[in-house]
Amino acid sequence: MVMKNFKINKNQQPLSDADIARGKDFGKLVQAYKAAKVPFYKSPKQWMGASSVLVASVAAVLIFSKINSADQTSRPFISPPVASADIQSTVYVLNAQADSTINYPGGSKIHVPANAFLDKNGKIVTGKVDLHYREFKKVDEVFLAGIPMTYDSAGEQFHFETAGMMEITASQNGEGLKTNPAALVKIDMVSANKEDRFNTYYLDTIEKKWKYTTQCNFNNANVADSNSAPATSPLPVKEIKQIQNEIVQLEKQKPNKPKKRDTGKPRFSIKVDPSEFPEIAIYKGVKFQVEDSSYRPDKADITWADIELKRLPGNNRYQITFINPNEKYRVIAVPVFDNKDYAAATKIYGQKFETYETALNKKKAGEAALAAKLKAKEEAPKSENDKITAAQKRANDQWAQAELVYRSFQVSDFGYWNSDHPCRLPAGNNMVKLNLTDAKTGQHLNISVCYLVEKERNALFAYGPKGLERFRFDAGKENGVWVMTTDNRLGVAKYSDFKSATTKGGEMELQLTMMNKTLKTTQEVKQYLEL
Amino acid sequence: MQPIEARTAMQELSGSTNYSREEALILAAQKDLQLFSALYEKYYGQILKFVYQRVTTKEDACDITQQIFLQAMLSLHKYEIRGFPFSSWLYRIALNEMNQLFRKNKKQRGINLEEKHLKTIVEELGEPGDEERENAVLAVLAGLQEEDFQLVEMRFFEYRPFKEIAEILNISEANAKMRLYRILEKIKPMAEKNLKKGL
């Protein structure tokens, strides 16, 4: 039916959930976004308004980003530069059917609920389980573990600054295990960074990219104290509070028992918005019976332009306001049913009440279980896992001195997690072609990757071989460099080396100290990497 | 896993912490567009339904909805938090995009009409609900200006509260009510006239 300004489609087929799911495609949207965002140097309007110098500089940055980005994709995904110096995991043997709290050296806590592991068939694992855990708090550890530190956001490449990373996996008899969505492991990882600009990311090793999961989540717990005290996890306390709030909210949703109309009282019907008043919309044949003395028969004959319905606190009462441009009339009413609708309403009420009661009982049982769990934790003797060796304590001395916080992770999948902040390459004015040579032999070095490290910033800025042609750094900062050559050798330029490097005609000559192949252990290589 | 919320980037922006989760998500998405996926997930269905109400085919509705979210993504950096729902901003973009598309392609804008919609309006006009009268009202509706019809459509076809209509059209709630009552007052005699003409 075509009429005047609009095309009328009568009783068009409604949209189903499947239609909605079919149409949704965020990847396609991102592609369209990239295509729609015309680069500055391609826009004629921008060309006209900008000076040629500025355009040349912006174009150079864009071209540079492209070159650098291409370099990164050709590198192996997770590639520890020195296999023997990779950061080692600590393995904990746990009873899969019991709650456990592990105190990791340095203060991090791993809360493992009972039944947290599933086998490859999705069945809950019983018996002993090996839990493997390691942390990477500083960039040298991230570098040694070969973890990628770039993050793609809508096609734009960022570099991670980290407030801490970790890897957690589990196995039984050598078989990898999966997480149980109904009983997730929670980790309170100690971090020396108190800033709230760090998000939580998970490394998807199939798609080969970091994925954002949640916002920054940390608290200022006294980590130093928790090292020596038995584990009294704050988790159950929080959970109890949460479940108590949920109970309060649920009780507000208690369905109202249908009421039969009183023969002597006036009543009327109005249409209600089901989304605003679901408690009324579930019933058919609801009438509103006036409960106060405000009823005036003459108002019943007026045609009202609008009606406002407001839920009143207490016993299933509503305030109804009839509105015309020049007049308002208000009554207090309760929903009632005529005899013919009452039986059906009672049946619906029975069903809804049962659902409500079941949900409420479940929540209350959950509350009781958590309270018992908390009590048990408080009374439990100190476990083996709480003991920290003197050597481990020494290794964490620097962390013990810092002001530490816990960053929390809900481990929905085993693997790598971080609390990081994506940032761009250093924004200084210096851009050079970086030539790298072996300080001992003077030979030119062909690199597979070069990491720029700024002092006092826990970030790795990755440059591929082509990226070195347009190497940016902030001359106002102390900079160091770690490189991996194409023949798998490590090279270092310390802050002092970088500072004294000569720059001529836009090219910087930087000499690197190559690693002696006799260095094998993590500690030895870490020492070598010191800037 | 889809992101469900974003870090509270508000302190960097204003030093204030009085942001809802959604507002925090918007602020974070302004800095990291990958986070826009959470907003896309949340509002895609609503916006698709809104568009489908106004076009003829599901395919058109899906294409236009993608276009709306693209526009939202491109303009997200300009979005300011002023206490209104993010959905209102998306609906406004949707209305603009659709107006532009209809104008550009010289296409007639659609109305996805169910029988109950007409009955609701006829009841609202205080008239007895028979088929003749419904057709007469329909003829008036089809001749309304777009901005008048939008109000009728949102209120009586989509059952939106005045508050939301006001937010979408960026007018006050009182103004939305007043404009709608005036439109209804205008429709009533015109429908009556149509009825007499036998439309």
How many domains does chain A fold into? 4
Go through chain B and tell me how many residues it has: 199
Q: Locate B117 and state its tokens.
A: 């919609």
Question: How many angstroms separate the CA of residue B82 from the nearest CA in chain A?
Answer: 22
**Residues A99 and A160 grouped into a single domain:** yes
Q: Rg for chain B (alpha carbons), in Å?
A: 20
Residues 6 or more apart whose Cβ sits within 8 Å of residue A524: A85
Last residue of a domain, one of A73, A101, A120: A73
Whether residue B108 and residue A8 make contact (CB cut-off 8 A), yes or no, is no
pLDDT score at A99: 92
d(CA A59, CA A352) in angstroms, rounded, equals: 64
**Residues A284 and A417 grouped into a single domain:** no
Whether residue B181 and residue A305 make contact (CB cut-off 8 A), yes or no, is yes
Residues 6 or more apart whose Cβ sits within 8 Å of residue B147: none
Question: Chain A contact for B114, CB < 8 A?
Answer: yes
The CATH class, in words, for B17-105 is: mainly alpha
Residues of chain B predicted below pLDDT 70: 1-19, 198-199
Hey, which residues 85-104 in chain B have their CB within 8 Å of chain A? Answer: none
For residue A311, give Cα distances in angstroms to A50, A295, A305, A321.
Answer: 60, 18, 20, 12
Residues of chain A predicted below pLDDT 50: 1-3, 38-75, 224-235, 381-395, 398
Domain B115-197 has CATH 1.10.10: yes
Residues of B in contact with A153 (CB under 8 A): 32-34
Is the CB of residue A502 less than 8 Å from the CB of residue A434? no
Domain membership of residue A460 as a residue range: 425-529
**Residues A195 and A310 grouped into a single domain:** no
Q: What is the ipTM of this complex?
A: 0.81
Cα B74-B77-B82 angle, rounded to 5 deg: 125
Last residue of a domain, one of A421, A453, A487: A421
**Residues A88 and A50 grouped into a single domain:** no
pLDDT score at A237: 66
d(CA A79, CA A124) in angstroms, rounded, equals: 33
**Residues A332 and A466 grouped into a single domain:** no
pLDDT score at A78: 84
pLDDT score at B21: 75
Hey, which residues 415-444 in chain A have their CB within 8 Å of chain B? Answer: 422
Among residues A408, A93, A104, A382, the alpha carbon closest in space to that of A235 is found at: A408
Beta strands in A325-429 (DSSP E): 327-336, 405-411, 415-423
**Residues A525 and A513 grouped into a single domain:** yes
- Sign of the dihedral through C-alpha B184, B185, B189, B192: positive
Residues 6 or more apart whose Cβ sits within 8 Å of residue A147: A78, A136, A165, A203, A416
pLDDT score at A73: 39
pLDDT score at B29: 86
**Residues A174 and A107 grouped into a single domain:** yes
d(CA A81, CA A98) in angstroms, rounded, equals: 38
Nearest-by-Cβ selection for A153 from B33, B69, B138: B33
**Residues A136 and A216 grouped into a single domain:** yes
Whether residue B143 and residue A5 make contact (CB cut-off 8 A), yes or no, is yes
Hey, which residues 284-313 in chain A have their CB within 8 Å of chain B? Answer: 303, 305-306
d(CA A82, CA B91) in angstroms, rounded, equals: 55
Report the residue of chain A nearest B69, measured CA to CA: A29
pLDDT score at A96: 93
pLDDT score at B124: 83
Residue A178 within any structural domain of the chain: yes
Whether residue A5 and residue B108 make contact (CB cut-off 8 A), yes or no, is yes
| pTM: predicted TM-score of the whole model, two decimal places | 0.45
Residues 6 or more apart whose Cβ sits within 8 Å of residue B72: B36, B39, B89, B90, B93
Residues of A in contact with B52 (CB under 8 A): 12, 15
Residue A313 within any structural domain of the chain: yes
**Residues A283 and A413 grouped into a single domain:** no
Whether residue B8 and residue A20 make contact (CB cut-off 8 A), yes or no, is no
Whether residue A9 and residue B114 make contact (CB cut-off 8 A), yes or no, is no
Q: Locate B178 and state its tokens.
A: 């007043």
Whether residue A5 and residue B142 make contact (CB cut-off 8 A), yes or no, is yes
**A125: CATH:** 2.60.220
pLDDT score at A295: 79
Nearest-by-Cβ selection for B161 from A26, A37, A273: A273
Whether residue A6 and residue B8 make contact (CB cut-off 8 A), yes or no, is no
**Residues A121 and A154 grouped into a single domain:** yes
**Residues A453 and A496 grouped into a single domain:** yes
Residues 6 or more apart whose Cβ sits within 8 Å of residue B109: A5, A6, A7, B54, B55, B98, B102, B146
Is the CB of residue A438 less than 8 Å from the CB of residue A491? yes
Question: Chain B contact for A212, CB < 8 A?
Answer: yes
Residue A212 within any structural domain of the chain: yes
d(CA A410, CA A88) in angstroms, rounded, equals: 22
**Residues A18 and A52 grouped into a single domain:** yes
Sequence spans of domains, chain B: 17-105, 115-197
Last residue of a domain, one of A336, A358, A375: A336
